[in-house]
């Protein structure tokens, strides 16, 4: 699981949907009392931004005509974690040719 936190315009369909599911998985873990320390300590999630990130992903999904029927559960949000967006853009570009193309196309967007 990971929070890319990259501008969703710069992400392919699969990575948007994957990160969206992972926001739900993070919330599920939090609500079950499962520690996310490993994800927090390795820069894979910002607990305090899960809801905002979910909403950003949903907005892009809807813009692309992807249906959304999974509201995010309530959870206890704490200011924890820091994701390196620039590093994540590099990783996405290395892993995915479609994301690489979108990252270049929207390079001036956040």
Is residue 62 assigned to a domain?
Answer: yes
State the pLDDT at residue 108: 83
pTM: 0.94
Q: Does the residue 47 lie in any domain? A: yes
Is the residue at 2 inside a domain?
Answer: no
CB 51 within 8 A of CB 72: yes
Residue ranges making up the domain that contains 101? 8-69+76-105
Q: Which residues of the chain have pLDDT under 50?
A: none
Query: From CA 74, how far away is CA 25, in angstroms rounded?
Result: 13
Sign of CA dihedral 78, 82, 107, 2: negative
Q: How many domains does the chain have?
A: 1
pLDDT in the model for residue 72 = 97
């Amino acid at each position: 699981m990971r929070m890319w936190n990259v501008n969703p315009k710069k992400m392919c369909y699969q990575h948007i949907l994957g990160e969206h599911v992972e926001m739900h998985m993070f919330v599920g873990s939090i609500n079950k009392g499962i520690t996310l320390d490993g994800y927090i300590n390795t820069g894979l999630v910002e607990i305090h931004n899960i809801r905002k990130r979910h909403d950003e992903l949903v907005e892009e999904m809807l813009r692309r005509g992807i249906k959304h029927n999974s509201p995010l559960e309530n959870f206890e949000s704490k200011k924890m974690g820091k994701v390196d967006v620039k590093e994540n853009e590099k990783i996405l570009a290395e892993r995915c040719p479609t994301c690489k193309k979108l990252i270049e196309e929207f390079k001036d967007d956040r």
